[in-house]
A = this chain, B = another copy of it.
């Protein structure tokens, strides 16, 4: 129950975030360092994210499977860059069934290696390709500094792993799945992500290149919200995924991997939340509509609850996720605050006057105060009115987030302006870039900003690099990031 409000965003954005996660009962700290407990309300949000993605994966021809949690340490060592990237983050099982293991087992930080091994068993001929498999699972990456949903030692995710006969097909898959993530983020999470390529410094350990969807949070920082990697033949060589092609020659397969995690819950909180708490996009909200019946005298109660029940039934029948909050031990005002904290997109109030008019009151979560309250929605047509309103809220949330992102995206002409902008207006800095990997390191050290991506929508625009002064047609988005 949300007895007290949250720290205002303007006062301490980081505390605001933690307050919202805990007071909306999305997640809780656990007694295991770095690991979180995802509470039922947070998990219901994750289930809706899962359903929205899983449907898209299946529509694009993918199937689910499950691979072991444990990976022999030697497997990780087969791809040099991969083991270098993940070694510092491993949790290692050394004892099993009371005995010291001959070879330590790593708790998967990601599954390219074990899946690569299995693919090498399953693939013989070009007829066995493509292999289009996704896994829903937990993974573990040891973290020093953790933050609920954003960075935890254990997290839940999906990881897609595909193998193809040609480079072109694998690159196409890499982009297709990034597109699936973007479609989900934009249309379901109402987050206007930017699709682009990662810099060398930020790519996945073992990939030829990585692509990403980058979201802007309410404080102007970036959050990498999903990634899709083109692995070339790196893992195919390391794990011997070979096939006989149509010309009867043995070839290494081309592979991809792509993942989106419970981090997305953090993205939704920070992209939309306000000082009253969570604001959830209707398509993903566990409870889309909360109905609060209001009465003073016992004589009013029956009629108010009657209309409430009628409205709830109509909404359920129309497929709306609705909850009636008929608690008697707390006030209506308390309930309003409580459901605002939890981000339910639409509140319906039903009081004695509404019964007389056979109508109900709507209050939009995304539009606080009087402006978001509308009266006299006829009870017999409540389901249609709610569905329209939810669609409007969904669209308005995306519109608002897009306007915010655009208003907080700036271009700068030189490094001084770059630093000034970062410390002042913040947000995304969209610039021409011709610097080296070392230049990028230096900028990160000096400003904490990194290249979030080379956006796909900017390819070909020519201009002058703000850092080196060189002419280039490469555009980069820099930002501070979680």
Cβ–Cβ contact A31 & B95, under 8 A:
no
Cβ–Cβ contact A39 & B65, under 8 A:
yes
Q: How far is the CB of A89 from chain B (nearest CB, A)?
A: 6
Q: How far is the CB of A183 from chain B (nearest CB, A)?
A: 23
Q: How far is the CB of A402 from chain B (nearest CB, A)?
A: 32
Query: Which of the residues B40, B43, B88, B154 comes within 8 Å of A68, measured between beta carbons?
Result: B154
Q: How far is the CB of A326 from chain B (nearest CB, A)?
A: 14
Number of copies: 2
Is A203 in contact with chain B by the CB < 8 A criterion? Answer: no
Q: Count of chain A residues with Cβ under 8 Å from any Cβ of B?
A: 57
Cβ–Cβ contact A138 & B69, under 8 A:
yes
Query: Which of the residues B35, B68, B93 comes within 8 Å of A30, measured between beta carbons?
Result: B68
Contacts of A95 in B (CB 8 A): 90-92, 94, 104
Considering the chains assembled together, what is the distance between the CA atoms of A87 and B329 in angstroms?
46
Among residues 22 to 43 in chain A, which have CB atoms less than 8 Å away from a CB atom of chain B? 28, 30-32, 35-40, 42-43
Considering the chains assembled together, what is the distance between the CA atoms of A67 and B433 in angstroms?
44
Cβ–Cβ contact B91 & A66, under 8 A:
no
Among A114-122, A360-368, A445-453, A459-467, which stretch is in contact with chain B?
Answer: A114-122
Instruction: Name which residue of chain B comes closest to A143, CB basis.
Output: B97
Contacts of A154 in B (CB 8 A): 68-70
Considering the chains assembled together, what is the distance between the CA atoms of A95 and B94 in angstroms?
8
Cβ–Cβ contact A31 & B72, under 8 A:
yes
Considering the chains assembled together, what is the distance between the CA atoms of A144 and B99 in angstroms?
12
Cβ–Cβ contact B37 & A65, under 8 A:
yes
Contacts of A44 in B (CB 8 A): 63-64
Instruction: Name which residue of chain B comes closest to A327, CB basis.
Output: B127
Is A294 in contact with chain B by the CB < 8 A criterion? Answer: no
Contacts of A31 in B (CB 8 A): 72, 75, 114, 117
Is A107 in contact with chain B by the CB < 8 A criterion? Answer: yes
Considering the chains assembled together, what is the distance between the CA atoms of A87 and B97 in angstroms?
8
Considering the chains assembled together, what is the distance between the CA atoms of A315 and B43 in angstroms?
34
Is A142 in contact with chain B by the CB < 8 A criterion? Answer: yes
Contacts of A87 in B (CB 8 A): 98
Is A200 in contact with chain B by the CB < 8 A criterion? Answer: no
Considering the chains assembled together, what is the distance between the CA atoms of A37 and B115 in angstroms?
9
Considering the chains assembled together, what is the distance between the CA atoms of A481 and B436 in angstroms?
66
Contacts of A42 in B (CB 8 A): 65
Going nearest first, the 10 A-B pairs with the smallest beta carbon separation are A97-B142, A35-B68, A40-B63, A38-B66, A92-B95, A32-B68, A94-B94, A96-B142, A40-B65, A43-B65
Interchain Cβ contacts under 8 Å between A and B, 6 examples: A28-B118, A37-B67, A66-B156, A88-B97, A92-B93, A94-B95
